[in-house]
Amino acid sequence: MAAIAIPESVQAYFPSVIEPSQLWVNYNSQVDSLTIYFTGRPVPSIWNDVDDYAYVGFAADDETKITGIMIEHFSKWLLLPGHAGRGLQAAG
């Protein structure tokens, strides 16, 4: 099994505690995007960019609550300088 190490610039937006049963993850191979919701399912969100490829979703009714992370061009994002060595790693 592989795990993805998310760069600190994006990880800073993750909740301090992640409840695995509340993760909703989708990879869209047609557009090469990865979306992770921390809310158990997709919810209306306002998306703000944190780098050229990554976006953080905030709840539409409470912009202090983070709903998820979306990464466009996911395969390319993994190969960017600064992300090297942070791609797929064996889960420990």
Give the burial string for 68-77 (b: 16+ CB within 10 Å, else e).
bbbbbebeeb
CA-to-CA distance for 40 and 50, rounded, in angstroms?
A: 22
Chain segment 37-69, per-residue pLDDT in tens: 999 999 999 999 988 888 999 999 998 899 999
The reply to whether 56 falls in a domain is yes
At position 40, the amino acid (one-letter code) is G
- Has residue 1 been placed in a domain? no
Structural domain of 77: 23-85
Q: What is the pLDDT of residues 4-21, one digit of tens each?
A: 666 777 778 888 888 999
Q: Is residue 8 in a domain?
A: no
CA distance 75 to 14: 21
Total-model pTM: 0.75
Cα separation of 37 and 17, whole Å?
13
